[in-house]
Amino acid sequence: MIQLLSFKTYSNWQNSKKTGKHIDIVILQKAVKKIERHAFWPNTCFSIALAVKIYLNQQQVASQIVFGLKKEAEGELKAHAWLKIDDNIISGNYRIDEYTEMYRFE
């Protein structure tokens, strides 16, 4: 993740955490979008949410992975996962209003 952020952005982000300030949600959302575009592993909503959650746990930042389902017109069920910090969506912010929340993993 370090390579995807400019040094100044990463430095400011790290310094804000060391001083006990809240994590900068906007910077984190931008970093996640870059990861989604440039990652060399298969990107799924769950893999991105889990990777960011693990990172945030290491930084002692509370977050939740939310799992949702929606029913397509053909009757097919679609699943989706997204990551939240408080009320802020960090990853998987793709038409989540269409999904019914089924479970939250903290």
Is residue 65 within 8 A of residue 83, CB to CB? The reply is yes
Domain boundaries, the chain: 2-105
pLDDT at 12: 55
Strand positions, DSSP E, 60-99: 64-71, 77-85, 88-91
Is residue 82 a contact partner of residue 72, using CB atoms and an 8 Å limit? no
Beta-bridge partner residues of 64: 84
Tell me the whole-structure pTM to 2 decimals. 0.73
- For each of the chain's 106 residues, which pLDDT tens digit applies? 444 555 555 555 554 444 344 678 888 999 888 888 887 777 888 988 998 999 899 888 899 999 999 998 888 999 999 999 988 999 988 788 899 999 998 8
How many C-beta neighbours within 10 Å does residue 5 have?
A: 17
| SS3 of the chain: helix, strand, coil, percent, to 5 | 45, 25, 30
Q: How far apart are CA 82 and CA 60, in angstroms?
A: 19
